[in-house]
Amino acid sequence: MPEPPSPRPAVTRRIPLAIGAVLIGVGVGFAVIYGVGGLARDAAGDPACRSAVDVARKIAPLAHGEVAALTMATVPLRLPDLAFQDADGKPRKLSDWRGKTVLVNLWATWCVPCRKEMPALEGLQTKLGGANFEVVAINIDTRDPEKPKNFLKEANLSRLDYFSDQKARVFQDLKQIGRALGMPTSVLVDGQGCEIGTIAGPAEWDSDDAIKLIKAVLPPAAGY
């Protein structure tokens, strides 16, 4: 009598847990998970980014009030070298800001929280922007390239340099490492391109809480 076939090994399916989900595919046509709980904090660490984790640990007590949603890096993580364009259409990369702390922000005109957040980002750039810090706000509108420019002009937001990625690849690149799960998304990055902290959702970036936290990251000699 032939032997019965060996039973197939059981397959365990992982069910992802998320705090909330919102459909924001009006501009880019995809659904995303929106919440801090989904951030992949178990990603493989980059030893060269350990100092960023040390900074995150140091400033963690300051993540309260208007920036309480900032999730601090607990493993060393270097961000992908995000590629996008400046206002003149010239290619730029995140590595162009090496040596400077940056707040990378992804926004779109079809994202209501993004539009509401932009004046706060403008305020942060006005207060702290300079040789040691910059807000790098990247627009990911995929249709009319003039619409986001007109929005900034009409809102009188002139302190933020305009950057864009009409293919929304920057969102996908950050999504792949668990750092872009909704819109807007902001990542505080050190001068080596390493994550210090991430916020999924809007924040009052020009508030006293945010200013104090970011000042704690910058060198004392910066004179802020």
For residue 76, the model assigns a pLDDT of 97
Query: What pLDDT sits at residue 184?
Result: 98
For residues 82 and 94, the answer to whether their CB atoms sit within 8 Å is: yes
Report if pTM > 0.85. Answer: no
pLDDT tens digits for the chain (224 residues)?
444 444 444 433 333 333 333 333 333 333 333 333 334 444 458 999 999 999 999 999 999 999 999 999 999 999 999 999 999 999 999 999 999 999 999 999 999 999 999 999 999 999 999 999 999 999 999 999 999 999 999 999 999 999 999 999 999 999 999 999 899 999 999 999 999 999 999 999 999 999 999 999 998 865 66
Instruction: State the DSSP string of 115-162.
Output: HHHHHHHHHHHHHH-SSSEEEEEEE---S-THHHHHHHHHTT--SSPP
Measured in whole angstroms, the distance separating CA 131 from the mean position of its chain's CA atoms is: 21
136 has which bridge partners?
A: 104
Residue-range domains of the chain with CATH: 21-219 (3.40.30.10)
